[in-house]
């Protein structure tokens, strides 16, 4: 596992698990748009999975997260979701 700061708002990460029968390689990153909004993305190269989330803090007691996931790099498998958290 390795992570690196590109700048104060952008962090990248790489994870490689090469042992075992099915090695995995993941690449991801976090971008802090501002103090209330962040975006995260991750690609699993081995399983061809893509995950992306946007998190918005509306105030100190409410957060909204929108997410999208895709399997096998196939747009037909895309799933969207939204979650609101109070407290």
Residue 15 has pLDDT above 80, yes or no: yes
The pTM for the full model equals 0.83
CA distance 44 to 40: 14
- As a dihedral over the C-alpha atoms of residue 38, residue 75, residue 50, residue 36, rounded to 10 degrees, the angle is 10
Range 15-43 average pLDDT:
93
The pLDDT of residue 77 is 94
Using pLDDT thresholds of 50, 70 and 90, give the confidence band for residue 78. very high
Q: Residues for the chain: how many in total? A: 87
Q: What are 80's two structure tokens?
A: 């969207």
Query: How many other β-carbons are positioned within 10 Å of the β-carbon of residue 56?
Result: 16
Q: What are 26's two structure tokens?
A: 């993941």
Summarize pLDDT for 33-53 with one digit per residue, the tens: 999 999 999 999 989 999 999
């Amino acid at each position: 596992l390795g992570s690196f700061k590109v700048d104060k708002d952008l962090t990248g990460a790489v994870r490689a698990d090469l042992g075992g029968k099915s090695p995995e390689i993941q690449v991801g990153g976090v971008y802090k748009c501002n103090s209330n909004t962040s975006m995260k993305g991750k690609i699993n190269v081995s399983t061809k999975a893509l995950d992306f989330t946007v998190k918005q803090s509306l105030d100190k007691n409410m957060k909204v997260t929108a997410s999208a996931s895709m399997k096998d790099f196939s747009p037909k498998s895309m799933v969207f979701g939204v979650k609101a958290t109070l407290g």
